[in-house]
Amino acid sequence: MSDFTEKLKTQFTSDNFLVIDIGIHGMKVMEVKRKARDYYIKKAFTMPEMSKYFTGPDMFNVNGIVDSMSQIIHLERIKTKNVFLSFSSAKLQTKIINIPELPEKEIRTFVELEYQKQFPNLNKLTDVVDYMPLGTFTKEGSNQKQLSLLLAQYSVIDAERVVKEFKNKKYNVNIIDVGVHGLGNVGRIYNDLENRDIVVFDIGYNTSQMVFLRDQTVVFSRNLAFGTNTIIKGLQNQEEITNKEAESILHEVGLQAKEDIIKGNRTIFADDYNEMVEGYLTNTLNEAYRSFQSVNSTYGLNLSHVLLTGGFSAIPDSKELVQKILEMDVETWEMDDSDKIRLSNGSKIVNQTDKVIKGAYATCVGMAIRGNFE
């Protein structure tokens, strides 16, 4: 415990840092090194079976989780002391921040870094963890400016105090909850907005989130009870196979089977498979489309572009099916072995490992843009 705590107690002055993404199904650790304007992922590790530390909706074996992080740092001889924590579970972050060994002010995520650049005069808010003001939004035909105050879904934030400070400065505050991966994806397009009105549609394992943007301001967000696991469970129940078998088929075949799927002595008919997948997707994406219409009406947005992110975007045919059902232009974003993500500010993220990185890279990219390490 103490070794890991010490690694959290250094300010981020180094060009080397760790990204640790803690989820219920696994923990991802990436070691990132900066050279000039570029960021190189040098090492990447995944620790599966994290579910053993999650004993209930609000019950976590925090010591076990922290010990696992400490073991990776020790066994892999990672020297960097700059650690960025990303949490798939908001309640878990609250638990970890509140344990005495990890002082609140020493836990940082990339979302805090934008704060001083945007509002340099609000120095007394520097001890607030994880909020990001993205700018002001004014609905067309209205003179009232609205500050979008972005909170990262963590109840540890003293939100009322933050809102009070901004209201004292005559801002109309709109509080929007967005998870850390959503923030990473917002960062990915922060300086690259070819279209004015965009929705980031992050489809994860169990849940999804839509983040609506106008220029450089987050306007609204919404969560959906749908994820890749929804389709996996549907296939598992329909064909009476294991969860692992269903997940393997989904990633191998994709969302549209071109022919019948033969696995050992079992045959899954292509029509049955496609009908099941499209049924789940159609219901969810129709709900998403209704959200688009509502946001357009309420905020005056003209949404015409979708950034499809999350693990779902790496599944074959995901872009085509989403585009077909939503009838909107869809840009898909994924990172494969040795792929490079080029950023509009001239920087790039390079995966130099032999691992396919499907999760925490969004946070890494968000840090590179929003952190502005220049």
203 shares its domain with 316: yes
Structure tokens at 13: 């002055």
> What pLDDT does residue 128 have?
31
Q: Is the CB of residue 47 less than 8 Å from the CB of residue 68?
A: yes
pLDDT at 45 over 90: no
Residue 367 vs residue 73, higher pLDDT? 73
Which of the residue ranges 174-188, 191-205, 206-220, 356-370 would you say has the lowest mean pLDDT?
356-370
Q: If pLDDT is split at 50, 70 and 90, which confidence band does 307 have? A: confident
Q: 101 and 202, same structural domain?
A: no
- Interval 47-97: pLDDT, tens: 766 667 766 555 667 677 777 777 777 777 776 656 666 655 444 544 544
pLDDT in tens, 137-169: 667 776 666 666 555 443 334 455 556 666 666
CB 350 within 8 A of CB 336: no
Query: Where is average pLDDT lowest: 183-187, 304-308, 355-359, 365-369?
Result: 365-369
* DSSP 8-state assignment for residue 108: B
With left for phi above 0 and alpha for psi between -120 and 50, is residue 27 left, alpha or beta?
Answer: beta
End position of a domain, from candidates 88, 106, 124: 106
Is 203 part of a structural domain of the chain? yes
In-domain check, residue 21: yes
**Domain of 286, in residue numbers:** 194-342
pTM over the 0.85 mark: no
Specify the amino acid at residue 64: G
Residue 63 lies in a domain: yes
- pLDDT exceeds 60 at position 37: yes
Q: Which of 69-78, 188-197, 262-271, 322-331 is predicted with the least confidence, judged by mean pLDDT?
A: 188-197
292 near 303, Cβ under 8 Å?
A: yes
Same domain, 101 and 200: no
Residues 24, 26: Cα–Cα separation, whole Å? 6
Q: How far apart (Å, rounded) are the C-alpha atoms in residues 240 and 238?
A: 6
Q: Which amino acid is at 348?
A: K
Number of domains, the chain: 2
User: CA–CA separation, 332 vs 17, rounded Å?
Assistant: 27
Q: At which residue do the structure tokens 């705590």 appear? A: 5
Residue 67 lies in a domain: yes
pLDDT for the residue 269: 94
Residues 96 and 201 placed together within one structural domain of the fold? no
> Does 336 lie in the same domain as 231?
yes
Please report the pLDDT score of residue 273 as a whole number.
94
221 within some domain: yes
138 within domain boundaries:
no
Query: 181: pLDDT confidence band, cut at 50, 70 and 90?
Result: low
Q: Which residue type, as a one-letter code, is found at position 340?
A: K
358 lies in a domain? no
HSE, side-chain direction, 13 A CA sphere, residue 320: 6
Q: Judge if 76 and 209 occupy the same domain.
A: no
Domain match, 328 and 210 both? yes
Residue 97: enclosing H or E segment and its boundaries?
helix 90-98
The residue type found at 87 is F
Do 101 and 226 belong to one domain? no
361 in a structural domain: no
Spatial contact of 252 and 246, defined as CB atoms under 8 Å apart: no
How far is 53 from 244, CA to CA, in rounded Å? 21
pLDDT per residue as tens digits for the range 113-128: 333 344 343 333 332 3
The residue among 5 and 140 whose pLDDT is bigger is 140
In angstroms, rounded to a whole number, what is the distance separating the alpha carbons of residues 245 and 207? 21
Asked if residues 46 and 355 have their Cβ atoms less than 8 Å apart, the reply is yes
Measured between alpha carbons, how far is 350 from 337 in angstroms, rounded to an integer?
9
Q: Residue 132: its pLDDT value, please?
A: 44
Any idea what the CATH number is for the domain that residue 23 is in?
3.30.420.40
User: Do residue 329 and residue 208 come from a single domain?
Assistant: yes
Q: What are phi and psi of 58, to 5 degrees?
A: -120, 20
Residues 216 and 336 in one domain: yes
Q: What is the mean pLDDT of the chain?
A: 68
Q: Are residues 225 and 334 in the same domain?
A: yes
pLDDT at 160 (0 to 100) = 59
